[in-house]
Amino acid sequence: MLTVVIGFCSALVFGSADFLGGLAARRMSAVLVTAIAALAGLVVLLVGLLLSGGTWSADAVLLGAASGVAGAIAIGLLYACLAVGPMSILSPLTAVVSAVVPLAIGLIGGERLGTIGYVAIGLAIVAIVMVGFVPEKGAVRPTIRAVLMAVGSGAGIGTFLVIIDAAPDDSGLIPLVFNRAVNSVIMFTIVGIMVVAARRRNSGAAHGKWRNGLRLAIACGVIDAIANVGLLIGVRIGDLSVMAVLTALYPAGTIILAAVVLRERIAPVQYAGLVLAIAAGAMLALG
């Protein structure tokens, strides 16, 4: 039961971080937002590590670093495929793949669920699609290239989950600290390359708007770090397959905040998906 609660909460927090990141990306480069968020998350996790401690080991450091590489690749592909569009199809596709990869690995690795549990996971995957799918007028079919990038992004997120799950249980937040450290280095390196490669344009852009974007990016990183801590706790006390499916419901948090803050309309299919997700979570708790 505790794993289900942590999984749902982590999904909603991840969705909240994505919402803030999306707002920040309207004010500055999406790559820069990702880099700043990674650095802010690193600071939070370092403070958490100092307070909570953990056993240092080569596995904890190397697995954390490897998860940082997987995360950087996943984020890069995610932004690339969403830029190509359509988002309404590619976003849920990414979420589904991110759930299926660790789910398959977890079951292959010996994790077993009751009949209710397997049915619940199937319903949760359907809920992921329903929550993430937003019908658009005149929506176009995605290109093969965009679909491949979405699948690659989902596989990268799923790989991150698998690697974090493999980290030693007594390592505390050490794997996440190195995840964020490596992620920050990669993203700021990309930002540096972009700055050097392209001449600066629109240098007279409003400073206040950029500053607001910076605050949103920092908040995104802090909240995302908290969500990752929840994810780490969840995979340590429960099954990877269950946590993978539950955290893939992250579009729900984004959609709810968009409806409340931006007054965006929630489609009936999304309401149905949210209800189905809650039902699947209850079934997982029983299974």
Q: What is the pLDDT of residue 200?
A: 59
How would you write the chain as a 3-class SS string?
CHHHHHHHHHHHHHHHHHHHHHHHHCCCCHHHHHHHHHHHHHHHHHHHHHHHCCCCCHHHHHHHHHHHHHHHHHHHHHHHHHHHCCHHHHHHHHHHHHHHHHHHHHHHCCCCCCHHHHHHHHHHHHHHHHHHCCCCCCCCCCCHHHHHHHHHHHHHHHHHHHHHHHCCHHHCCHHHHHHHHHHHHHHHHHHHHHHHHCCCCCCCCCHHHHHHHHHHHHHHHHHHHHHHHHHHHHHHHCCHHHHHHHHCCCHHHHHHHHHHHCCCCCCHHHHHHHHHHHHHHHHHHHC
Mean pLDDT to the nearest integer, 267-282: 73
Q: What is the pLDDT of residue 218?
A: 94
Mean pLDDT to the nearest integer, 224-251: 86
Asked whether residue 208 carries a pLDDT value surpassing 60, the answer given is no
Q: What is the pLDDT of residue 123?
A: 83
pTM above the 0.85 mark? no
Spans of all domains in the chain: 2-199+224-286
Average pLDDT of the chain to the nearest whole number: 81
| Residue among 255, 223, 236 nearest 131 (CA) | 255
Tens digit of each residue's pLDDT (9 = 90 or more) over 138-164: 445 667 888 888 889 889 989 999 999
Asked whether residue 274 carries a pLDDT value surpassing 60, the answer given is yes
Tens digit of each residue's pLDDT (9 = 90 or more) over 18-38: 888 888 877 887 788 889 999
Asked whether residue 272 carries a pLDDT value surpassing 70, the answer given is yes
Tens digit of each residue's pLDDT (9 = 90 or more) over 91-117: 777 877 888 888 788 778 777 777 777
